[in-house]
Structure 1
Amino acid sequence: MTMTVRDFRATDAEAVAAARRSAFPFLVTTPRTVVWTSESAPVEQHHRLLVAEVDGRVVGSSEVGLFHDSEEPGQAFADTTVGAGARGRGVGSALVTAAEEYLSGLGTAKIFSWTLDEASSVTFAERRGYRRGRCSRVQRLDLTAAELPPLGAGGLPDGVELRTAADFADDPRPLYAADVECTADEPGDVDTATPPYAEWLALNWEHPALDRELTSVAVVDGAVAAYSVAHTDGRGRYWSGMTGTRRAFRGRGLAKLTKNDSLRRARSAGCREAFTGNDGDNGPMPAVNKWFGYEPAATEWRYVRELSA
């Protein structure tokens, strides 16, 4: 077996996407998103996509970079994926070693990495000195069989109207303001600064998986109050990128309303499976998803290694 770890090339996109889908079938991953992520990363992130090639075939990858917007310097990420048929052959070790060497050269103090809650993955991480942090629970909804609750039975609440992200194509700034506020309240292990509007446009609004027609927005008396982001892959898979309600409008069921509208649009558009991920410390959204009929699909752990140790 001949194995090489090298930098990603655009011609690797299909193989990288296939490996990611085999390892994380709930994620929205396409060759286009792989290329776009590599090409659009902020310079300050020092983003690098490493691939492992075995006997001339790409079988895994490691996406690495700095949390350039972190309030604490020296924090980085390294998320490694190996295709299901190539595991147990040293591919993961080679990728992680290369990722750690690169990040160490950038002065990294901590490396964060997502790991599936399965024995082989957990053992691999812990043997390399990573310790377990917070968890994320992935849930799945079969859109072909789901009995979605009625949408605003009896009409929408007074002053509330439903729109889509596409309606904000000329000026997405109201969505930016809502997303910044809601994201700031999300639990996490890396505190980040508010992204400038231009960066939000580049990394969120222009994301190739974002489906603006399926992303629902609740507007109350002319102001954006809640939203539910839809990412799709053109293969029948839908991922909830973010569902949030601005602080002044919480407790009125608007998160349920926008997500319900988005899921209904997704089903009408031909999506068959809907996935969502919730931080283990986020209580409200799992309850909302259970109300829709989502069922557990996978658990991921955020592992961290302190290089100084």
Structure 2
Amino acid sequence: MVPTVRAAGPADLAPVADLLRAARPHLVVTPELLAWQATGKPAERFGMLVAEAGDGIAGVARTGLLYESAEPGLGFVNLVVHPERRGRGVGSALLAAAEKRLAGLGVRRAYARVVDEPAPLAFAERRGYRAGRRSVILGLDLAAALPAAPDPPAGVRLGTAADLVDPRPLYEADLAAAADEPGDVGRDETGFSDWRAAYWDRPDLDRALSTVATADGVVVAFSLALTDGRDRYLSGMTGTRSGWRGRGLARSVKHASLRAARSAGFRWASTINDAGNDAMRAVNAWFGYRPVAAEWRHLRTLPK
């Protein structure tokens, strides 16, 4: 059966969330998050396409602009096909429709996240996508014992994002920490209003579980927690300002966040590391995280 591709609607949010969880168990995804993605970041021009084949949704493509980069014409297409529906033309139909949408938005170069498995990698290569950086997905059973909590440096106070009256200090710390973070696309065009819409206001950000370390009123390190409200926890970003690195702050803020997550009833934690980020991978290994999957960032220049 030839799949039918169409724009996703409100009734599709729950089945799409189920599909994404089935295909990417490490993801934290809910229907509420998908609904917010459609409207919560206007500059991203997010759009979600679904493919129907037989008795329901067989795949989804999430598309939009990489608006945080100063380079114009960048976009993304992240394609997921249900494990039981692969090899039936679903991915091809979705990708063609997704690239057409991106071209209509003025995208010239499309990025895609591709699972590090032979079939998805071959699919991407056949369609002109070339591999860039590799990321490793790590998992941690929160029922296991955490290492002893490290003491923060003198003069540094640990709190939560919920304690912040104004999130601007966290915004400033996030941009400072991300300035030299390994990756294919920079975040050099993120203003405060865009950051607030894209990160602070997202429905899966658990501010009570997100830890911030402050010194003299400045956020010097942080660990953001994304949750599904049930049992899954994902580290959105753990970062330290460059002048404060090497003092154990990444371990301190992440330890406080993970401990709070376990107390709140979350049972599984995941995080995503660039394969070249040795410092953060060492921090996560110290906690007991273990690799559970991997993916590659691919890039294709779309035809004119």
Establish whether TM, by shorter chain, passes 0.5. Answer: yes
Q: Which moved more, 1:215-224 or 1:118-127?
A: 215-224
Are 2:263 and 1:268 equivalent residues in the alignment?
yes
Name 1:9's counterpart in structure 2: 9
The alignment partner of 2:121 has SS state of helix
Once the two structures are superposed, the pairs formed by residues 56-205 of structure 1 within 5 Å of their partners are 57-145=56-144, 147-152=145-150, 156-168=152-164, 170-205=165-200
> SS of the counterpart of 1:125?
helix
Measure how far apart 1:302 and its partner are. 0.6
Equivalent residue letter for 2:203? P
Q: Does residue 1:27 correspond to 2:23, yes or no?
A: no
What is the one-letter code of the residue matched to 2:54?
D
Identify if the C-alpha distance between structure 1 residues 222 and 25 changes in structure 2 by more than 3 Å, giving closer, same or farther: same
1:162 counterpart letter in structure 2: L
Corresponding residue number in structure 1 for 2:203: 208
TM-score by length of 1: 0.94
C-alpha displacement at 1:2, in angstroms?
5.5
Instruction: Measure how far apart 1:221 and its partner are.
Output: 3.4
Aligned to 2:230: 235
- Paired positions, count: 304
What secondary structure does 1:187 align onto? coil
Q: Distance in 1 between matches of 2:70 and 2:303?
A: 19
- Decide whether the 8 Å contact of 1:113 with 1:303 is kept in 2: yes
Distance of 1:37 and 1:101 partners within structure 2: 20
- 2:3 and 2:89 in contact (8 A); partners too: no
User: Alpha-carbon deviation of 1:161?
Assistant: 1.6
Alpha-carbon deviation of 1:203? 1.1
Q: Does 1:49 align with 2:45?
A: no
Q: Is the 8 A contact 1:180 1:194 kept in 2?
A: no
Give the partner amino acid of 1:206.
Answer: D
CA contact (8 A) 1:214 1:266 kept: yes
What's the counterpart of residue 293 of structure 2?
298
Structure 1: where are the runs of 5+ without partners? none
Q: Structure 2: give runs of 5+ residues left out of the alignment.
A: none
Query: Which has the larger displacement, 265-274 or 177-186?
Result: 177-186
2:184 and 2:152 map into 1 onto residues whose CA distance is 37
1:111-140 deviation digits (Å, cap 9, x = unpaired): 110000111111111111111111101111
State the Cα RMSD in Å: 1.5
1 CA distance for matches of 2:156 and 2:41? 36
